């Protein structure tokens, strides 16, 4: 089975930018109820989609005080536990981060290793792509960040 995920967060000066559990050096970061890890949020939705388990908002409502500033790494681990309990396992993850700046190239490998660790996948089964929006729209103006992702899962007993 496959699933897609999408997430967008506003960017503001003075906020932290955390992607895939890795803090990125940046003047601007995500505005969020949780830690604003837009990459993990998108991946969580892809996993939930593939497993037919709804979306991130159903599992971690942003109206719930327990999830204020909550670690997205912990959220992902919880979702991975649900997956394992259903007899499912991840095959691979692919994601596209659309961000004008900073450049993610120096961080991509670290992000891959971290996501592979969180999701119990070999590193080569996690692919992270980064692109800019060529200066266009709210992403181009540095007002927001978007992540699209996709994953495949399979039954453990296949």
* Total residues binding Mg ion (CB under 5 A): 2
By beta-carbon proximity to Mg ion, the closer residue of 91 and 130 is 130
CA distances from 103 to 71, 82, 135, 149, 156 (A): 23, 34, 14, 19, 37
35 belongs to the binding site for Mg ion (CB under 5 A): no
Which residues are CB-contacts of 128 (< 8 A; sequence separation ≥ 6)? 20, 39, 95, 97, 104, 108, 111, 112, 115
6: tokens are: 């999408």
Give the Cα separation of 13 and 23 in Å (integer). Answer: 15
Kindly indicate which of the ranges 18-26, 41-49, 88-96, 118-126 contains the residues binding Mg ion, using the contact rule CB under 5 A: 41-49
Nearest position to Mg ion, beta carbon? 41
Contact residue for Mg ion among 21, 35, 40, 41 (CB under 5 A):
41
In the chain, what are the helix, strand and coil shares in percent, each to the nearest 5?
35, 30, 35
108 belongs to the binding site for Mg ion (CB under 5 A): no
Longest dimension (CA), the chain: 48
Kindly indicate which of the ranges 19-27, 33-41, 79-87, 100-108 contains the residues binding Mg ion, using the contact rule CB under 5 A: 33-41
Q: Residue 113 in 3-state DSSP?
A: helix
Rounded least distance, CB 113 to Mg ion, Å: 22
By beta-carbon proximity to Mg ion, the closer residue of 41 and 108 is 41
37 belongs to the binding site for Mg ion (CB under 5 A): no
7 belongs to the binding site for Mg ion (CB under 5 A): yes
Which positions touch Mg ion (CB under 5 A)?
7, 41
């Amino acid at each position: 089975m496959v699933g897609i995920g999408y997430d967008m967060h506003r960017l503001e000066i003075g906020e932290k930018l955390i992607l895939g559990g890795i803090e990125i050096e940046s003047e601007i970061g995500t505005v969020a109820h949780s830690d604003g890890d837009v990459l993990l949020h998108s991946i969580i939705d892809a996993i939930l989609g593939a497993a037919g388990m709804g979306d991130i908002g159903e599992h971690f409502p942003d109206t719930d005080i327990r999830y204020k500033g909550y670690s997205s790494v912990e959220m992902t681990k919880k979702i991975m536990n649900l997956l394992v309990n259903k007899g499912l396992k991840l095959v691979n993850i692919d994601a596209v981060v659309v961000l004008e700046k900073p450049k993610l190239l120096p961080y991509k490998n670290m992000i891959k290793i971290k996501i592979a660790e969180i999701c119990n996948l070999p590193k080569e089964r996690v692919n992270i792509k980064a692109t800019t929006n060529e200066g266009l729209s709210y992403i181009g103006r540095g007002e927001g960040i978007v992540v699209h992702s996709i994953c495949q899962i399979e039954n453990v007993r296949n």
